Amino acid sequence: MALISLTNVSKTYPPAERGGERVIAIDDVTLDIEKGDVYGIIGYSGAGKSTLVRLINALERTTSGAIRIDGRDMTALPERDVRRIRLGIGMIFQQFNLFNSKTVFNNIAYPLRVAGADKKTIASRVDELLSFVGLTDKARNYPEQLSGGQKQRVGIARALAASPSILLADEATSALDPETTSEVLALLKRVNTEFGITIVVITHEMDVIQTLATKVAVMDAGRIVERGDVFEVFSNP
């Protein structure tokens, strides 16, 4: 059974203005992502990639079709259960989305506090994560004192705090220079190989897919137009 399974999923948005056209953001997508995969989703701006991510972590509801996480249909569950499943999904963003008024330590601790962990558990878990992302000496700093790459490492640590089985990365390196991008991609590779965390990588950059992913789906206008192993999909002349 696939860890993430989309069956005939569609998502339409109401027209932006009165009398306008409905936007079909996702158009009948069926997709299985297996446990342990690093699955790339690539496409131009407007292809539907971000919508797909928001559907997978149930920040948005599908218009039709089912999304199963570990066999459980998110579209059929009450919000309370969806919230619990969402705790098992970490997320990182292009603009990092850190809390600017919180220290690095408190950014990483945030999901643990939400989950009701006690102080000692939080302290030791955050220390482990700081060491994993190489930022032990930045624990007391604020995000504005960090470089872009360091901010994204904090984002990764925060996303891992609640020990998720899935990590969603939405254009996670698009705001970074090439060297920093390589560092962050190497760290994400370790997240997959060392912890077995399944990673879904959303990007418009082929390099990111080729460096990190093993499988890829190419999206265009809300549909998957091609998919398969990365070396096969990108080896066509």
Determine the interface stretch with ligand ADP among 105-113, 125-133, 141-149, 229-237 (rule: CB under 6 A).
125-133
Minimum distance of ligand ADP from residue 189's CB (angstroms): 14
Q: How many residues bind ligand ADP (CB under 6 A)?
A: 19
In order of 40, 157, 191, the CA distances from 206 in angstroms are 9, 25, 20
Residue type, 84: R
Name which of 10 and 141 has its Cβ closer to ligand ADP.
10
Q: Considering the rule CB under 6 A, would residue 160 count as an interface residue with ligand ADP? A: yes
> How far is the C-alpha of 13 from the C-alpha of 15, rounded, in Å?
6
Among 2, 7, 34, 50, binds ligand ADP (CB under 6 A): 50
Element housing 51 (H / E): helix 49-56
> How far is the C-alpha of 179 from the C-alpha of 225, rounded, in Å?
31
Element housing 35 (H / E): none
Angle at 92 between CA 27 and CA 144, to 5 degrees: 140
Name which of 45 and 236 has its Cβ closer to ligand ADP.
45
In order of 40, 121, 200, 209, the CA distances from 169 in angstroms are 10, 26, 6, 12
What region does 71 belong to: left with phi over 0, alpha with psi -120 to 50, or beta?
A: left
Q: Considering the rule CB under 6 A, would residue 199 count as an interface residue with ligand ADP? A: no
Q: Considering the rule CB under 6 A, would residue 155 count as an interface residue with ligand ADP? A: no
Q: Considering the rule CB under 6 A, would residue 51 count as an interface residue with ligand ADP? A: yes
Footprint of ligand ADP on residues 62-81 (CB under 6 A)?
Answer: none
Determine the interface stretch with ligand ADP among 32-40, 48-56, 107-115, 206-214 (rule: CB under 6 A).
48-56
What region does 42 belong to: left with phi over 0, alpha with psi -120 to 50, or beta?
A: beta
Minimum distance of ligand ADP from residue 197's CB (angstroms): 6
Q: Are 98 and 148 in contact (CB under 8 A)?
A: no
Determine the interface stretch with ligand ADP among 30-38, 105-113, 124-132, 145-153 (rule: CB under 6 A).
124-132
Minimum distance of ligand ADP from residue 128's CB (angstroms): 3
Footprint of ligand ADP on residues 10-39 (CB under 6 A)?
Answer: 13, 23, 25
Among 36, 46, 88, 148, binds ligand ADP (CB under 6 A): 46
Q: Which residues of the shown chain bind ligand ADP in the complex (CB under 6 A)? A: 13, 23, 25, 43, 45-51, 128-129, 131-132, 160, 163, 194-195
